[in-house]
Amino acid sequence: MRIGITCYPTYGGSGALATELGIALAARGHEVHFITYRQPFRLPSFLPRVWFHEVDVGRYPLFEYPPYDLALAVRMHEVVRDHQLDILHCHYAIPHATSAWIARAMLREEGRDVKVVTTLHGTDITIVGQERSFHTITKFSIEKSHAVTAVSQYLRDETYRAFGCVGCNVEVIPNFVDPTLYDRTRHTFPIPADVIRGRKVLMHISNFRPVKRVRDVVATFARVQEQVPSVLVMVGDGPERVEAEDEARQRGVADNVMFLGKIDAIAPLLAGADCFLLMSDKESFGLSALEAMASGVPVIGYDAGGLPEVVQHGVTGFLHAVGDVEGAAASAIALLSDASAWQRVSTAAAEDARTRFSEQAIVAQYEDLYERTLATADTSPLRTPPFVPAILPSHLPSIAAP
Ligand code: GMT
């Protein structure tokens, strides 16, 4: 198949998953075209059967808000036409599924067609999509997609609750991990031993959005380090980083908290972690938690959203009520103080990640979905020629400030 993938190329789980999926599909013989405004952060520079098509949003003084969604629709239309794509797979509904709908409408005017698959990842449904400015267009774009998937049962239920989703069938296809990459035996922990000095390593990886409750992460660590000599490694960046730094200072633990910023290669970091903290109040899945589990790192987090579908309480980690920092710290202290309990949970986490979230099985689920979608006939007829093809004249410049 020829598959176009659109995602947010920046630091984040949906972009990471979309990129890993594209790479895996190409390895299985499909042609994969990434259509994004920047090279996805997990995409190597060259891979057989993988293309990268940059969306040029341009700049113009009149546009305080450049119309990215339109530029994306134009690029999608162009790439589908030039490379005869069968499927446009949009990761994160806003605005990708809407741009795909526009691109498809343009294609159909020319007597061409493409099938649109949308994968819902999280805040496109739980936060942004429910804002007044985006609700109706999100609902419309989901309903107009030929197939819709959600990364957890929780997110599927939330989609129906918030949008109704008339006439669409949201299928759950969970996220997956590459088991060979997330294997702690394969990596050398990049933080020098004289920095760690034999202390336990607690880790958090995210985009530091309010939903991640990074203050709770630091507050949990502050309690743990009173009982267990430890450090907290914070990976990523975002609007709440200053909050986390402030919490660390207020609790007097700033010297034991390292903020590493955005790091693309997280497998070597996870290989040196003893415990992963994910304390979001609304995590649709928690890809970073799955990557931690695959690396043999027990996860401690909140019993909210889709995280209980990933972390099995008492088996591969421990989940507590949102805000229960005391409970989370108690679980971490118990785990980090008992080597055999830690080994048991670590082994179970690595096994469970490989069994329930195996890359092979889940990529096959996407292939099956594409095949089923392609086999479904459209009821509305295509425009028949003669038509006026929307071909960009090659001499047109990109928008630039004069
Ligand atoms: O929805 C977001 O906040 C962004 C998105 C991302 O790009 O990182 O994260 C979501 O998608 C991930 C991949 O499916 C999930 O693992 C995350 O749980 C989900 N984030 C939230 O639900 C907050």
- Nearest CA owner, ligand 1 atom 9: 13
pLDDT of residue 332: 98
Q: Compute the distance from residue 395 Cα to the ligand 1 centre, in Å.
A: 40
Distance CA 353, CA 309 (A): 12
Q: Compute the distance from residue 398 Cα to the ligand 1 centre, in Å.
A: 32
Distance CA 26, CA 358 (A): 17
The DSSP bridge pattern shows strands 115-120 and 87-91 to be parallel
Distance CA 169, CA 146 (A): 9
Residue 15 Cβ inside 6 Å of ligand 1? The answer reads yes
* 3-state SS assignment for residue 24: helix
Which of ligand 1's atoms lies nearest the C-alpha of 7? 7
Distance CA 200, CA 203 (A): 10
Whether the CB-CB separation of 304 and 224 falls below 8 Å is answered with no
Mean pLDDT for 35-50 is: 90
Q: Which residues contact 109 (CB under 8 A, 6 or more apart)?
A: 383, 387, 388, 390
Task: Give 3-state DSSP helix, strand, coil % of the chain, rounded to 5.
Answer: 45, 15, 40
pLDDT of residue 290: 98
Whether the CB-CB separation of 4 and 52 falls below 8 Å is answered with no
Q: Compute the distance from residue 17 Cα to the ligand 1 centre, in Å.
A: 10
Whether the CB-CB separation of 171 and 148 falls below 8 Å is answered with yes
Q: Compute the distance from residue 375 Cα to the ligand 1 centre, in Å.
A: 30
Which of ligand 1's atoms lies nearest the C-alpha of 124? 1
Three-point CA angle 331, 355, 373, nearest 5° = 120
Residue 268: Cβ within 10 Å count? 17
Taking only the tens place, the pLDDT of each residue in 324-360 is: 999 999 999 999 999 999 999 999 999 999 999 999 9
Helices (H) and strands (E) in the chain, counts: 15, 13
Whether the CB-CB separation of 43 and 33 falls below 8 Å is answered with no
Taking only the tens place, the pLDDT of each residue in 58-74 is: 888 888 888 999 999 99
pLDDT of residue 158: 95
Q: Compute the distance from residue 287 Cα to the ligand 1 centre, in Å.
A: 7
* 3-state SS assignment for residue 75: helix
Distance CA 297, CA 54 (A): 36
Q: Give the model's confidence band at 167: pLDDT under 50 very low, under 70 low, under 90 confident, else very high.
A: confident
Average of per-residue pLDDT values in the chain: 93
Q: Give the model's confidence band at 401: pLDDT under 50 very low, under 70 low, under 90 confident, else very high.
A: very low
Residue 335: enclosing H or E segment and its boundaries? helix 325-336
Which of ligand 1's atoms lies nearest the C-alpha of 307? 18
> 182: closest CA among 20, 291, 28?
291
Q: Which amino acid is at 287?
A: L
Residue 9 Cβ inside 6 Å of ligand 1? The answer reads no
Confidence check: pLDDT of 91 > 80? yes
Q: Compute the distance from residue 3 Cα to the ligand 1 centre, in Å.
A: 22
The domains of the chain, with CATH numbers, are: 2-176+358-375 (3.40.50.2000), 184-356 (3.40.50.2000)
Lowest mean pLDDT among 100-109, 312-321, 337-346, 393-402: 393-402
Confidence check: pLDDT of 402 > 50? no
Which of ligand 1's atoms lies nearest the C-alpha of 175? 14
Mapping DSSP onto H, E and C, the string for 275-321 reads EEEECCCCCCCCHHHHHHHHCCCCEEEECCCCHHHHCCECCCEEEEC
Residue 119 Cβ inside 6 Å of ligand 1? The answer reads no
Residue 20 Cβ inside 6 Å of ligand 1? The answer reads no
Q: Compute the distance from residue 337 Cα to the ligand 1 centre, in Å.
A: 32
Taking only the tens place, the pLDDT of each residue in 263-284 is: 989 999 999 999 999 999 989 9
Alpha carbon dihedral 193, 194, 199, 200, in 10-degree steps, equals -30
Q: Compute the distance from residue 123 Cα to the ligand 1 centre, in Å.
A: 7
- Nearest CA owner, ligand 1 atom 23: 283
Residue 116: Cβ within 10 Å count? 24
Q: Compute the distance from residue 111 Cα to the ligand 1 centre, in Å.
A: 36
Whether the CB-CB separation of 42 and 15 falls below 8 Å is answered with yes
- Beta bridge mates, 120: 150
Residue 174 Cβ inside 6 Å of ligand 1? The answer reads no
Which of ligand 1's atoms lies nearest the C-alpha of 283? 22
The DSSP bridge pattern shows strands 170-172 and 50-54 to be unpaired
pLDDT of residue 397: 61
- Substitution site in 125, 235, 281, 284 for ligand 1 pocket (most atoms within 8 Å of beta carbon): 284
Q: Compute the distance from residue 290 Cα to the ligand 1 centre, in Å.
A: 12
Residue 34: enclosing H or E segment and its boundaries? strand 31-36
Go through the chain and tell me how many residues it has. Answer: 402
* CA-to-CA dists, residue 190 to 11, 60, 187, 209, 344, angstroms: 20, 43, 9, 26, 25
Distance CA 244, CA 397 (A): 45
Distance CA 52, CA 313 (A): 40
Share of the chain above pLDDT 70, in %: 94
Residue 287 Cβ inside 6 Å of ligand 1? The answer reads yes
Whether the CB-CB separation of 282 and 59 falls below 8 Å is answered with no
Distance CA 185, CA 67 (A): 46
Confidence check: pLDDT of 134 > 80? yes
